[in-house]
Structure 1
Amino acid sequence: MLGQLGQVLDIGELVRRIVKYVVEGIMVAIAAYAIPKHSMKMDEVMLIALTAAATF
Protein backbone atom coordinates (compact mmCIF):
# COMPACT_ATOMS: atom_id res chain seq x y z
CA MET A 1 0.00 0.00 0.00
CA LEU A 2 2.78 2.46 0.84
CA GLY A 3 4.49 1.64 -2.45
CA GLN A 4 1.36 2.66 -4.33
CA LEU A 5 1.14 5.87 -2.34
CA GLY A 6 4.73 6.69 -3.31
CA GLN A 7 3.83 6.30 -6.97
CA VAL A 8 0.88 8.68 -6.65
CA LEU A 9 2.48 11.21 -4.31
CA ASP A 10 5.62 12.96 -5.53
CA ILE A 11 7.44 14.02 -2.35
CA GLY A 12 9.69 16.46 -4.20
CA GLU A 13 6.71 18.27 -5.68
CA LEU A 14 4.98 18.33 -2.30
CA VAL A 15 8.02 19.86 -0.59
CA ARG A 16 8.44 22.40 -3.41
CA ARG A 17 4.84 23.55 -3.07
CA ILE A 18 5.03 23.78 0.73
CA VAL A 19 8.19 25.90 0.51
CA LYS A 20 6.57 28.11 -2.14
CA TYR A 21 3.48 28.76 -0.02
CA VAL A 22 5.51 29.41 3.13
CA VAL A 23 7.73 31.92 1.29
CA GLU A 24 4.67 33.67 -0.16
CA GLY A 25 3.12 33.86 3.31
CA ILE A 26 6.32 35.34 4.75
CA MET A 27 6.51 37.95 1.99
CA VAL A 28 2.90 38.98 2.57
CA ALA A 29 3.57 39.17 6.32
CA ILE A 30 6.54 41.47 5.73
CA ALA A 31 4.44 43.68 3.46
CA ALA A 32 1.55 43.76 5.95
CA TYR A 33 3.92 44.75 8.73
CA ALA A 34 6.02 47.31 6.83
CA ILE A 35 3.62 49.12 4.49
CA PRO A 36 0.85 50.55 6.74
CA LYS A 37 1.37 53.91 8.43
CA HIS A 38 0.26 52.43 11.76
CA SER A 39 1.90 49.12 12.58
CA MET A 40 -0.47 46.20 12.81
CA LYS A 41 -0.53 43.79 15.72
CA MET A 42 1.60 40.71 15.17
CA ASP A 43 -1.40 38.36 15.40
CA GLU A 44 -3.14 40.34 12.64
CA VAL A 45 -0.02 40.15 10.47
CA MET A 46 0.23 36.39 11.03
CA LEU A 47 -3.45 35.90 10.18
CA ILE A 48 -3.01 37.81 6.91
CA ALA A 49 0.12 35.78 6.10
CA LEU A 50 -1.64 32.49 6.83
CA THR A 51 -4.60 33.49 4.67
CA ALA A 52 -2.29 34.50 1.82
CA ALA A 53 -0.32 31.27 2.00
CA ALA A 54 -3.52 29.25 1.96
CA THR A 55 -5.03 31.06 -1.03
CA PHE A 56 -2.07 31.32 -3.45
Structure 2
Amino acid sequence: MLSSVALFISGVIALAINKVYWVELFGVDWSYTGSLAWQAILFTVTIIAALHIVGGIS
Protein backbone atom coordinates (compact mmCIF):
# COMPACT_ATOMS: atom_id res chain seq x y z
CA MET A 1 0.00 0.00 0.00
CA LEU A 2 2.88 2.32 0.74
CA SER A 3 4.30 1.83 -2.74
CA SER A 4 0.88 2.59 -4.27
CA VAL A 5 0.69 5.85 -2.36
CA ALA A 6 4.25 6.76 -3.37
CA LEU A 7 3.51 6.08 -7.05
CA PHE A 8 0.26 8.04 -6.88
CA ILE A 9 1.97 11.06 -5.31
CA SER A 10 4.81 10.97 -7.84
CA GLY A 11 2.28 10.75 -10.68
CA VAL A 12 0.33 13.74 -9.36
CA ILE A 13 3.53 15.74 -9.04
CA ALA A 14 4.59 14.82 -12.58
CA LEU A 15 1.21 15.85 -13.97
CA ALA A 16 1.26 19.09 -11.98
CA ILE A 17 4.72 20.01 -13.28
CA ASN A 18 4.08 19.14 -16.93
CA LYS A 19 0.63 20.45 -17.82
CA VAL A 20 1.09 19.20 -21.39
CA TYR A 21 0.59 15.63 -20.15
CA TRP A 22 -3.03 16.38 -19.25
CA VAL A 23 -3.85 17.21 -22.85
CA GLU A 24 -1.85 14.29 -24.24
CA LEU A 25 -3.13 11.69 -21.78
CA PHE A 26 -6.74 12.72 -21.37
CA GLY A 27 -7.39 14.99 -24.35
CA VAL A 28 -8.71 17.75 -22.09
CA ASP A 29 -7.53 21.20 -21.08
CA TRP A 30 -7.54 22.86 -17.65
CA SER A 31 -10.93 24.56 -18.04
CA TYR A 32 -12.63 21.21 -18.70
CA THR A 33 -10.80 19.57 -15.81
CA GLY A 34 -11.82 22.34 -13.41
CA SER A 35 -15.41 22.14 -14.55
CA LEU A 36 -15.42 18.37 -14.13
CA ALA A 37 -14.03 18.68 -10.60
CA TRP A 38 -16.72 21.20 -9.61
CA GLN A 39 -19.46 18.98 -11.04
CA ALA A 40 -18.11 15.99 -9.11
CA ILE A 41 -18.10 18.01 -5.89
CA LEU A 42 -21.64 19.30 -6.48
CA PHE A 43 -22.90 15.79 -7.29
CA THR A 44 -21.34 14.43 -4.10
CA VAL A 45 -22.86 17.20 -1.97
CA THR A 46 -26.25 16.62 -3.62
CA ILE A 47 -26.18 12.88 -2.87
CA ILE A 48 -25.13 13.48 0.74
CA ALA A 49 -27.90 16.07 1.18
CA ALA A 50 -30.46 13.69 -0.31
CA LEU A 51 -29.36 10.92 2.05
CA HIS A 52 -29.72 13.30 4.99
CA ILE A 53 -33.23 14.25 3.88
CA VAL A 54 -34.45 10.66 3.54
CA GLY A 55 -32.75 9.63 6.79
CA GLY A 56 -30.04 7.44 5.29
CA ILE A 57 -27.30 9.30 7.17
CA SER A 58 -27.79 10.52 10.71
Relative to the length of structure 1, the TM-score reads: 0.52
Q: Offset of 1:22 from its aligned partner?
A: 0.4
- Equivalent in the alignment of 1:23: 42
Overall identity of the aligned pairs, in %: 5
Q: Offset of 1:7 from its aligned partner?
A: 4.5
- Equivalent in the alignment of 2:21: 5
The answer to whether the aligner puts 1:40 opposite 2:57 as a matched pair is: yes
- In structure 2, the gaps of 5 or more residues are 1-17
Judging changes above 3 Å, is the alpha-carbon distance between structure 1 residues 19 and 33 closer, same or farther for their aligned structure 2 residues?
A: same
- In structure 1, the gaps of 5 or more residues are 42-56
Deviations 1:1-56 (A, max 9, x none): x36436534000000000001000000000001112xx624xxxxxxxxxxxxxxx
Greater RCO between the two (CA within 8 Å, min separation 6)?
1
**Aligned residue-pair number:** 39
Relative to the length of structure 2, the TM-score reads: 0.50
**Deviation >4 Å, runs of 4+:** none
